[in-house]
Amino acid sequence: MTLKSILLSTIAGVAFTISAPLSASAQDCERGTLDALYCDVDGDLIADIPTDPAKLTDPDTLIFAYTPVEDPAVYKEAWDDFLTHLNKVTGKKSVFFPVQSNAAQIEAMRSGRLHIAGFNTGSNPLAVNCAGFRPFTIMASEDGSFGYEMEIITYPGSGIEKVEDIKGKVLAFTAETSNSGFKAPSALLKADYGMVAGTDFEPAFSGKHDNSILGVANKDYPAAAIANSVMGRMIERDVIKAEQIKSIYKSQTFPTTGYGVAHNLTPELQEKIKQAFFTFEWEGSSLKSEFEKSGEGQFLEMTYKDFWEVVRKIDTANGVEYTCG
């Protein structure tokens, strides 16, 4: 099974196609925009839990993957304390799966090899529609605020002082599935500045936010569209210096990584996993040590239908269509 992210045009006409052997036949049910493998009878825009016991799974080992926005090795250690807590609450063993791309992460859940995941903002709609992902929480600060902004950054002395100065130059994106790394800036540049990739500037794809940020800091890219939460953590870890970067645009706030489960885990197991997220003690944990660098300190309950509405609107503006199989 493969996942192909095909860039048909940089603004109007992005299609993400999953070609995979289906593990179950298409179902005769209400599903909205979901793939034929899933049902959405209650209209909450995410896959229903199967009612047929034969379609449910209760694995002995739970596989967890965090979105590959940065070096996976950094996050394996960061999630250690949470996974220990998850083991206690569920009575199962859990394993951190260091995925290298959004495509690999979505492919793993669709094929049944990934049970719990944090998908990045832009990948959530694809994971929901094509992989049966059921997100239910995001990280938030202790006061309940949450989210991040897309920023377009450059380096001092680049000759770029404002967004219009990108014309004729290279702008680094991360990947086509990224909200802040591609979708949001593409919509913004076209709607507000009349700028289209391939016509007004040359697009480059770095693969990850940290690659784009390092690329600008090291003057490999004159400009890049990135998630400022990632940049903040990199500055806190002294991976880059704040003075190496200059921001020329900051967007509205978007929801950050959405965490959830595969739709076909037993209802009892799904509830235990939710319990693990909402009873996790952040204070003194390896998770807080890493994510407090971007101001996060709790898991906040959310719904995909409400929290991801702005992201789905950006997808619509960009002409994004998802074809799953």
Q: What's residue 221's pLDDT? A: 98
Phi and psi angles of residue 108, each rounded to the nearest 5 degrees, phi first: -65, -40
Residue with structure tokens 């569209």?
225
Q: Are residues 174 and 317 in the same domain?
A: no
- Shared domain for 261 and 319, answered yes or no, is yes
Same domain, 123 and 266: yes
- Do 203 and 314 lie in a common domain? no
H/E stretch holding 125: helix 124-131
Residue 183: strand, helix, or coil? helix
Let me know whether 32 and 174 are in one domain.
no
C-alpha to C-alpha distance for 239 and 219, rounded to whole angstroms: 15
How remote is the C-alpha of 23 from its chain's centroid? 25
**pTM of the prediction?**
0.79
**CA distance linking residue 295 with residue 205, whole number of Å:** 28
Question: Does 62 share its domain with 173?
Answer: no
The span from the CA of 92 to the CA of 249, in Å, is 45
Spatial CA neighbour of 126 closest among 266, 258, 298: 258
- What pLDDT was estimated at residue 22? 42
pLDDT of residue 70: 65
Pair 141, 216 in one domain: no
Question: How confident is the model at residue 186, as a pLDDT?
Answer: 93
Which helix or strand (DSSP H or E) is residue 47 part of?
none
> Rounded CA gap, 23 and 6, in Å?
24
Last residue of a domain, one of 254, 280, 300: 254
Q: Are residues 136 and 272 located together in one domain of the fold?
A: yes
pLDDT of residue 171: 98
Considering the domain architecture, whether residues 159 and 136 belong to the same structural domain is answered as: no
> Which of 199, 229, 254 is the C-terminal boundary of a domain?
254
Domain that holds residue 183: 148-254
Whole-angstrom distance, CA of residue 271 vs CA of residue 276: 9
Q: How confident is the model at residue 23, as a pLDDT?
A: 45
Point out the domain boundary residue: 208, 231, 254. Answer: 254
Count how many domains the chain has: 2
Sign of CA dihedral 196, 198, 200, 204: positive
260 and 250 housed in the same domain: no
List, for the chain, all residue ranges whose pLDDT scores fall below the cut of 70: 1-26, 70, 325
Same structural domain for residues 103 and 59?
yes
| pLDDT at residue 26, as a whole number | 67
**Co-location of 12 and 71 in the same domain:** yes
Rounded distance between C-alpha atoms, residue 155 and residue 75, angstroms = 27
CATH at 285: 3.40.190.10
Per-residue model confidence (pLDDT) at position 252: 87
For residues 308 and 124, the answer to whether their CB atoms sit within 8 Å is: yes
CB contact set of 208 (below 8 Å; sequence gap of 6+): 68, 69, 70, 174, 175
